[in-house]
Amino acid sequence: MANVAVIGAQWGDEGKGKVVDWLASRADIVVRFQGGHNAGHTLVVGDQTYKLSLLPSGLVRGKLGIIGNGVVIDPEALLAEIDRVGRQGLHVTPETLRIAENAILILPLHGAIDRAREAARGAAKIGTTGRGIGPAYEDKVARRAIRVCDLAEPETLADKLDELLRHHNTLLKGLGADTFGKQALLDRLLELAPLVLPFAEPVWERLDEARRAGKRILFEGAQAVMLDVDHGTYPFVTSSNTVAATAAAGSGVGPGAVGFVLGIAKAYCTRVGSGPFPTELHDATGALLGDRGHEFGTVTGRRRRCGWFDAALVRQAVKVGGIQGLALTKLDVLDGLPELRVCVGYRIGGETLRHLPAAMRAQAAAEPVFETMEGWSESTRGARSWADLPAQAIKYVRRIEELVEAPVTLLSTSPERDDTILVKDPFED
């Protein structure tokens, strides 16, 4: 019985929430394996709309949720999210949610340094959410981070805070920002400890038992391949690895347990924040895509930049992300457009490339090479079979498959959970 890993194949915000929610009905356990509360999934279930940032999406479907060691956790944000969904009738308890005891904590000082750095960058800002995710990952690599398990050891917390404050207060002072006192931080962490620790355990052990028992595990990624700290449009990226290989390291399983890798891509392209976007549209068509697609970030609330589908970019994501099949979302947003364009490569100077280069200036200079296709006048919204789709829409999907070198295994035609065309169940061996 196969497991499934879901990752974004563009710059995030591809509609992963609906797809993960749809797949969660076939899974036993849903695992978040990287990122922090800078990512967001919106799930529409009946008359309720859940906006999740840290909680695994499967909780909405009554599945066991696990936050893996690869996630950086703001305990205040986590508890606030648990409280918020609780008011909507979704009660999260230690029986329904488990957290890796070795996951890293985000503290208030991380958000402060994040925001101070962005302010200091001025026009060259990266576009972070300012929530401290990057600085928390920095502390992890520097081996000075506070982990969930440290909440059970007051002396460990006190010693680690000394080291953290020596580092971060020096930076904050240099950036002209307010510094932090040790006692206030320590007192607050000790207050949070009894609220967080009941959820903590060595989740790798639970996942191993589930795998050996033949249970289906869904690994839920945040952000997307083109925001991967190694493979994305650096430095305009997130602070973690977003590719499917991280599902193993970020949850404590072997690489063979990850299973089928499903990449999520919109039928067009969007991006939030700064960074290169070769197919971006600054005209009425771009505005139309944004309005129809309700393109506002779940976490940031910012308007997303919109553009034509970038097949060269998604092909790159397929290769480095290990994607075996695509879930293509928001096809209905393209309804009625007389002409569609698809990027098949980039022109940089006198050279044409099939991939976006790694160098920053080269990325900024990349001009898209477009292929033009005929649009369709009929509606695709709510289609649940290939027979419901216009011939030109099918032709568009098939051309995308050819260009990205991966099959479309699932097609979404509206925000509604059941408006989905399933070509291949990712959980089937």
Our CA dihedral for 406, 16, 301, 97, rounded to 10 degrees, sits at -150
The continuous run of DSSP H or E covering 167 comes out as helix 154-174
The continuous run of DSSP H or E covering 264 comes out as strand 260-266
Please report the pLDDT score of residue 169 as a whole number. Answer: 94
Please report the pLDDT score of residue 301 as a whole number. Answer: 60
Where residue 428 falls (left for φ over 0; alpha for ψ -120 to 50; beta otherwise) is beta
CATH architecture of 4-99+200-260: 3-Layer(aba) Sandwich (3.40)
pLDDT in tens, 347-359: 998 899 999 999 9
Please report the pLDDT score of residue 44 as a whole number. Answer: 74
Query: What tokens were used for 282?
Result: 């600054």
Please report the pLDDT score of residue 294 as a whole number. Answer: 85
Please report the pLDDT score of residue 125 as a whole number. Answer: 79
Stated pTM of the model: 0.93
Beta-ladder partners of 348:
351
Query: What tokens were used for 388?
Result: 């419901």
Query: What tokens were used for 375?
Result: 């649009």
Closest CA to 228 of 242, 218, 215, 216: 242
The answer to whether residue 13 is catalytic is yes
DSSP state of 209: H
Distance CA 283, CA 293 (A): 16
Where residue 405 falls (left for φ over 0; alpha for ψ -120 to 50; beta otherwise) is left
- In the three-class reduction of DSSP (H, G, I as helix; E, B as strand; rest coil), residue 372 is classed as strand
The answer to whether residue 419 is catalytic is no
Please report the pLDDT score of residue 302 as a whole number. Answer: 64
| Amino acid (1-letter code) at residue 390 | P
The number of residues making up the chain comes to 429
Cis peptide before 338 (omega within 30 of 0): no
Distance CA 35, CA 70 (A): 7
Please report the pLDDT score of residue 17 as a whole number. Answer: 79
Please report the pLDDT score of residue 15 as a whole number. Answer: 84
pLDDT in tens, 44-80: 777 778 888 899 988 988 999 999 999 999 999 999 9
Q: How far is CA 47 from CA 55, 59, 240, 416, in A?
A: 20, 17, 34, 11
Please report the pLDDT score of residue 2 as a whole number. Answer: 85
- Residues whose CB is less than 8 angstroms from the CB of residue 351 and which lie 6 or more positions away in sequence, other chains included: none
Please report the pLDDT score of residue 286 as a whole number. Answer: 93
Domain 104-196: homologous superfamily in CATH:
Adenylosuccinate Synthetase, subunit A, domain 2 (1.10.300.10)
Please report the pLDDT score of residue 298 as a whole number. Answer: 59
Pick the catalytic residue from 13, 228, 310, 419.
Answer: 13
Distance CA 371, CA 368 (A): 10
Beta-ladder partners of 49:
44
Distance CA 297, CA 272 (A): 7
Please report the pLDDT score of residue 299 as a whole number. Answer: 58
Q: Which CATH class is domain 265-422?
A: alpha beta
Using only C-alpha atoms, what is the Rg of the chain?
22
Q: CB–CB of 74/132 below 8 Å?
A: yes
In percent, the amount of the chain with pLDDT more than 70 equals 98
Produce one character per residue of 114-131: b if its CB has 16 or more CB atoms within 10 Å, e if not: bbbbbeeeeeeebebbbb
Q: CB–CB of 68/252 below 8 Å?
A: yes
User: Residue ranges of the domains in the chain?
Assistant: 4-99+200-260, 104-196, 265-422
In the chain, which stretches have pLDDT less than 70?
A: 1, 297-302, 429
Phi and psi at residue 418, to the nearest 5°: -90, -5
β-strands 260-266, 64-67 pairing: unpaired
Q: CB–CB of 97/55 below 8 Å?
A: yes
Pick the catalytic residue from 21, 37, 41, 114.
Answer: 41
| Amino acid (1-letter code) at residue 427 | F
Q: CB–CB of 144/164 below 8 Å?
A: yes
